[in-house]
Structures are given as C-alpha cells and as structure tokens.
Amino acid sequence: MARTLIRRIAFGVIAVLGVAVLAFLLEFVVPGDPARAIAPRAQSAAVLENIRIQLHLNRPLIIQFLDYFGELFRGNLGTSYVQRQSVTSLILPRLATTGYLALAGVIAEVIIGGTLGIASTLYARLRAAVAAVNLTLLALPQFVVGLVLLLIFGFRLHMAPVTGGAGLAEIVLPALTLGLVGAPWYAQIVADQLADSLASAYVRTAVAKGLPDRYILWRHVMRNVLSPAITMIGMDLGAYLSGVVTVEVVFGWPGIGLLAVDSLQNLDRPVVMGTVIVGAIAVVFFNLVADVLRMYIDPRTMQDPA
Amino acid sequence: MSAGPATTASAPGPATRAAALEVESLRVCYAGLPAVDDVSLRVEPGQVAALIGETGSGKSSLALGVARLLPSSAVATGRVRIAGAELAELPARQARQRRAGLVGYIAQDAMAALNPVLPVGQQIGELFRVHRGLSRGDASHQAVQELARVWIDRPEQVAHAYPHQLSGGMRQRVMIAMAMALSPPLLIADEPTTALDVSTQAEILGLVGELQAQTGSGILWITHDMGVVAELADWVAVMYAGRIVEQGPARDVFEHAMHPYTGGLLRTRQDLRTGRPGTPLYQIDGAPPALSAGRPGCAFAPRCLRRTEICAERRPELVAAGPALGATAAQGAGTPAAGTVAPTPSPEPPWLAACHHPEVSS
C-alpha cells in the first residue's frame, strides 16, 4: 500500500513536470510579442526593447527555461507581466473560487447522473426516457446549456443573478450546467455497474441468505457501484480545477479558467504557466485521492502488482 | 441418524419425519421453453442425492427452482416441499425470512458468489444479524465459530480477509459455512468442487460428509463428475434435456445402469480411469438437444445406440427398473402405478428408468 502510494506520487511529479515543460515550449510557439501586449500603443522600438530586457525576453530560450524551472523548484511561479504581482497571489484566490464551483458541479453531476442511472436500471419503464435524456445532454455543449439556463432562470424568471460573481446565489446555474453536461457519464456508469451487480452471483448468494432487499442494495450492491464512480469523480474534480473555462466565461465566474483565458490573450506567460501547472497538480492530486479511496472501498485494488 | 432431533423447527409434525426435499412435477420454463420438465424427486434427511447430467441438462435450473432463486424471466410450476414447507407458495417476504433456514445454497464459483468488497466474516455474520437478531459483535463472534466449523485455521484472522485473499478451497469452505450457518434441513451444492484441484476437492467432500453427519441435513449435490458421485452419493438421479431419465440407489445405478445415457456417462469415467495411453476416450456422440416444447419421443434417441422406431414416436415413461423387475418390465409398457414417485417413503427407494429398451443385466 505504502509502496503503491509512493510510486503513484513519483509518477504524479513526473507528469506535472512533463506538462510544465510542454507548456513552456508551447508558449514560444504561440505567435505574438508579450512586449507589444503590455504596451500596445508604444510606437518606439526602444520602449519595446526596454520591456523585453526587463522581462529577460531577449535571452536565449535555454537560459529562460533554466531560469524559470530554477525558480519553480524554489516554489516561485514568477510575476505577472501585466498585473505586476506574483503569480501565486493571483492564482490562489482564483483556485479557491474555482474549487467551490468544481465541488458543486461534481455534486450536481453525481446526484443527477446517479438518479438517472439508478432509475433506468431499477424501473424498466423509465429506461427509454432516461436514454433519451442522456443522449440529449451528451449532444449539448457546455456553453449552450449554460446560456439556455442563464436565459431561462436569469433573464426570464429572474430567479438567478446574471451579473457574474462568486457568491452562493451565483454558483447555482454554473454548477447545474456542469452537472447536466457531466450527468450522462455518471448515469451510464452507474446503470452498467448496477445491472452487473444485480445480476451477479454474489447478489444471488445474498438473496439465498434471505437478506432484505434494501439491505442487499445498500450493503452488497452499492459498494460495488461506487468504486468506478469514485475514479470518475476524482478525474472530474481535477479537470474542473484546472479550469472550467467555458462555464466561467459564460457565467462570469471569477475562477482560474477565466484567469487563464485572460492571460493567454495578454501573452502573460508566467500566469499561463501558473494556471497550467496548478491544473496539472490538481489532476494528479485528485486522481491519487480517488485511488486511495477506492482501495478502502474495493480492497481488490489494493494489491501491489508483483 | 434417527436419534438426533429434527432440525425443522416449525414443520407441522407428521408422524414420520418429512423428507428433506420433495419435488413433484416441477417444470421450469424460460420464454415458454422447458429447461426442467416434469421432474419429481425426493431427498431424505441425512442422504446425499446426486443430480448428474451434461451442461444444459437443467440441473442448475432445478436447483434454483427448489431454492426459489430463479431469475424473474423463469416460470416454475409444480410442488416443492423442503422439510414439509412449501417455500414457493409463501408470500415473498416470508419466503425471504425462511429461505436460509430451510435451504443452504453452495454455488459453483465461490469467487463470484462471495461479495468482493466485504470481509468474509461479515458475510457470514450478517446471516445471524438478520435472522437471529444478534448484535454486530455477537454476529462476528459467531462467524468465527462457523469458520472454525468448516476446518479453517486461524478463523479470527480469516474472518477479516476479503474473498480474493483466500485460496479457492478456503473460499468454498466459506460458502459452505454460510450455507450451513442456520443448519437448514436441505443443502443444495451446485458443482461446488468443479473449480478446485483434486486434493482440495477431496477435502471439501470430506468436510461436507462430516458436517452432514453432525446436522443430518439432506443434500442435493449437482455435478457432472461421476467420481464425486461414487464418493459421496446414496442416491443418483440422471438428467437429460430437462427430464430425469434414470434414478435409483447409487450403488445399483453404478453397477447396472439401465438407461443408455447413464451407461455412456459411466463409461466415459471408466475410460478416464483405466484407459490405456494413446487410446481414444469413449464419448457419447452428438450434443444434447436445444430447449424445445412438446417434442415427441425420447430426447436421447438421436444419440442412442439402442434406438428403434418407437423411440422417435413415444416418450418413454419413468418406470420401475432394476434386475428384480427386469424380467417382467423389459418391454416397458406394463407395471402400473410405477410412473410416479411412490408417495410414502419406502425403505428401499424405487429404481426408475425412462427408456423403451432398458439394459437388463444378467
């Protein structure tokens, strides 16, 4: 168990580093001059050159690379080109804001998807209806669902704020958007697992033992259903924390996704790098948490591959 | 064996002790097609009845029908009495409450039949929590005792293990402990040793024999392994295409099989034991028929070496057979009242075969 964990963490560190290196190189492939982005109206070449010198942009790529990663290993993500403050101090509050949304979105996904999946498995009459709902939701992109919700509940019914922000009232629609768009995946996995489990030999054993139906469902079936769902929750939390860009843009949710988009447009390389690295760490971290949780729920996954 | 008190707590006591299992004209149909067709059989307390036949002959459907564990797509008719109780007639809730006390079910693949995410001790203990109202602590204590009863070393540790951490033999013993936990009068074992190696098989057989001596349960042992039958069974019923084609005391059937199908099964086994290397093993040519409704004649006829015209036209009844009757019953038609299982248990259970041309031994 401990060995598995250490190996997983080591792989995680390698993955994050790989992502960082790739992102760094990509930034130099993207056309554009950060100096022009910072001083768009500056006409004189001397001013632009001065900015480049200040930001060390005129040095060879390899030197810039070593500089950046040297600082990174000291925990320093650098300073924003545009906002003149440290990337860490820009990202951390945004990370928390996105964190609320990610959590609320995953909860919505699990509730909506789980309900759909359970309903379609246990009640044969609902199967076709649930399949239709699933297919519709799968076909809709996030921004369409988000805009439709905003239109109906925000502009028509005035039940939700439309001005953006990160309060309790503002979280409902973006979380619902994430929930609706992600629900079909959960519905499918829950329905499949539930059907497998209900048809399994161990459930027949439980029936043969004369255990009550409800007891069998919760004690024998649900734990087997939960295990793959947890892996998906971990993946979603990581992915959402690395930026739910569309939803944040549609609803004006001041999270890390919005920051990433802004800084990409401004060619604010240190901030872009920061959001990418933080996102990669989030993905690795939540996958790891999901795996550890799974080991407790399904002890078969605890075995070290010899 | 008659000295022990009956374990059937609530059987409304008839003068004689009720049979562990009495099946009358059981039919199990899937989508209108019979997998089990008009089967009657009886297992006495303390007896091991072996049900043999090829894959697809309806053995498992019969077992599940007896325990009322058939999938909802199956339709079962007929009567099943377990220690006098008609489990199939009870309302669902009562059936659930009484099932584990009446019949223990040992599945073929213990790995699949045990829940992979629960420690085995809990899986045994929950029987006592649900049916005997024991507390969590008492139930787990009881589970450890049940594990010890099936010859498991260090039962305290094993109780905390998950199924995948145990060996195949240990898992099957856990299954047996679960099936026997409430001391049911009937035990159904659905090929429990098929997936095990030979020495583990022998251990399991020994264990079941000892447990049965303690509890006096009747056992319905489903298998296609004639070796297991020889080792264990008092009584044998041979199934083919959903019907019993021959049944009788194990020793008699083994010595002179009346039905050509039984004879074929026995010969395959004999070849395995005594066949010289290099010589081909005996096999019954052809394959069992697919499920079908209302087929005339004998289902085995297409594969049978003794078939004549009548075999394709008329289905042979299950009638008394055996050397004593052989001389008079050879032509089959005679012998009235032998078509059904005798209603009163006789000391010498009848030997029956369903064949127009039973083998009459010298």
B118–A300 CB contact, under 8 Å: no
What per-residue confidence (pLDDT) applies to B294?
Answer: 67
C-alpha span between A88 and A277 (Å, rounded): 11
Q: Residue A224: which of B117, B162, B178 has the nearest Cβ?
A: B117
Quote the number of domains for chain A. Answer: 1
B98–A223 CB contact, under 8 Å: no
pLDDT 10s digits, A110-129:
999 999 999 999 888 999 99
Q: Is residue A240 part of a domain?
A: yes
The yes-or-no verdict on residue B2 having pLDDT over 80 is: no
Question: Tell me, what's the ipTM?
Answer: 0.80
What per-residue confidence (pLDDT) applies to B9?
Answer: 43
C-alpha span between A279 and A16 (Å, rounded): 9
Longest Cα–Cα distance of chain A, Å, equals 86
Q: How far is B264 from chain A (nearest CA, A)?
A: 32
The yes-or-no verdict on residue B340 having pLDDT over 60 is: no
A223 touches chain B (CB under 8 A): yes
Q: Is residue A205 part of a domain?
A: yes
Q: Is residue A94 part of a domain?
A: yes
C-alpha span between B359 and A262 (Å, rounded): 92
Q: Which residues of B touch A299 (CB under 8 A)?
A: 116-117, 162, 164-165
pLDDT 10s digits, B110-161:
999 999 999 999 999 999 999 999 999 999 999 999 999 999 999 999 999 9
Q: Which residues of A touch B126 (CB under 8 A)?
A: 209, 211, 215, 219
Q: Is residue A81 part of a domain?
A: no
CA atoms within 13 A on the CB side of B202: 2
3 state SS of A60: coil
Q: Is residue A23 part of a domain?
A: no
Cβ–Cβ < 8 Å for B70, B61: yes
Query: What are the residues whose beta carbons fall under 8 Å from the beta carbon of B328, sequence distance 6 or more?
Result: B334, B335
C-alpha span between B20 and B187 (Å, rounded): 9
Q: Which two tokens stand for residue A40?
A: 């768009």
pLDDT 10s digits, B190-201:
888 887 888 888
What per-residue confidence (pLDDT) applies to B362?
Answer: 40
Q: Which residues of B touch A206 (CB under 8 A)?
A: 115
What per-residue confidence (pLDDT) applies to B13?
Answer: 43
The yes-or-no verdict on residue B185 having pLDDT over 90 is: yes
- pLDDT level of residue B12 (50, 70, 90 thresholds): very low
Q: Is residue A78 part of a domain?
A: no
Q: What is the DSSP string of B210-240?
A: HHHHHH--EEEEEES-HHHHHHH-SEEEEEE
For residue A196, what is the nearest residue in chain B, using CA coordinates?
B112
Q: How far is A107 from chain B (nearest CA, A)?
A: 24
Domain at A139, CATH number: 1.10.3720.10
Q: Is residue A157 part of a domain?
A: yes
Which alpha helices (DSSP H) does A199-300 contain, by range? 201-208, 213-215, 222-241, 245-251, 256-265, 269-297
A262 touches chain B (CB under 8 A): no
B94 touches chain A (CB under 8 A): no
Q: Give the predicted TM-score (pTM) of the model.
A: 0.77
Q: Is residue A162 part of a domain?
A: yes
Q: Residue A210: which of B99, B113, B162 has the nearest Cβ?
A: B99
B180 touches chain A (CB under 8 A): no
Query: Can you give the residue range of the structural domain that contains A234?
Result: 87-302
